[in-house]
Amino acid sequence: MCISFATADNAKESKPFYLRDIEVGGTTLPFSPVTVVVMLISFIMLTGIFNTSKSTATASHILIEGTNAEERLNKMKQEIGTNYTKFQSLAKAHSICPSGKADGGKLGTFKPGMM
């Protein structure tokens, strides 16, 4: 009958390498490679959460009223297409909002969560 006792070296070697403490030279650091990866991922996620967003959006509008407002807006939409200069001229001509008349429908620039 053979009896073997686990020594500290045997116990250390029985763990997969990614669960063993990191050894640098003669020093053993009290964490594993898995711990390092988890800390790095946590750091990256936290910096992403607390990092202020640099993206912005500029909003413009044409405000009209009346019984056929939707129909008129659809005609304007077809006329505008992707031409922003045309949008500005129609906003100045038809919008009942003061910003529409004064500045071609511009409402300003906004950061995420402002509007």
Top-confidence range, 8-22, 45-59, 98-112: 98-112
pLDDT of residue 47: 80
- Amino acid at residue number 6: A
Task: Count CB-CB contacts under 10 A for residue 56.
Answer: 11
More confident residue, 13 or 54: 54
Whole-number mean pLDDT of the chain? 80
Q: Bigger pLDDT: 48 or 111?
A: 111
Indicate whether 7 pLDDT > 70.
Answer: no
Buried b (16+ CB within 10 A) or exposed e, 26-48: eeeeeebeeeeeeeeeeeeeeee
Q: Structure pTM? A: 0.51
Radius of gyration for the chain, computed over Cα atoms and rounded to the nearest angstrom: 32
CB 30 within 8 A of CB 12: no
Summarize pLDDT for 54-103 with one digit per residue, the tens: 788 888 898 998 889 999 999 999 999 999 999 999 998 888 888 667 88
Confidence of residue 8 (pLDDT cuts 50, 70, 90): low
pLDDT the model gives residue 79: 93
